[in-house]
Amino acid sequence: MSVAAVEKRLRDNAVESPTSKNKYKGVSKFVEDLERAGEVNFSELVAETMAKVTNLDIPKKILWRLFLDLADYAKRESKFDCAR
């Protein structure tokens, strides 16, 4: 495989499409709604988020954003080990 082909494949895997951005927004809103409800603890929030990710078939290229959102929530809840 040529260097140009590898670069193109890596670039395509890293660039977020409008579809993947919309899926992220949907899951992000779901997480925000759960946070605002205040009825779930961190482990329940993670479990429900991962179930939603599985159901929506979220691309791997946007999972990092969801993990950062969950880490921010963990920090706000003073769960620093979970945030790491």
- The parent domain of residue 64 ranges over 17-83
Asked whether residue 62 is assigned to any structural domain, the reply reads yes
pTM across the whole model = 0.66
**Residue 36 placed within a domain:** yes
pLDDT tens track for 20-58:
788 888 888 888 888 888 777 888 888 888 888 888 777
- pLDDT score for 10: 67
8 A C-beta contact, residue 69 and residue 34: no
Token representation of residue 79 = 């769960």
Residue 79 lies in a domain: yes
Interatomic CA distance for residues 29 and 45, integer angstroms: 13
Tally of structural domains, the chain: 1
Has residue 3 been placed in a domain? no
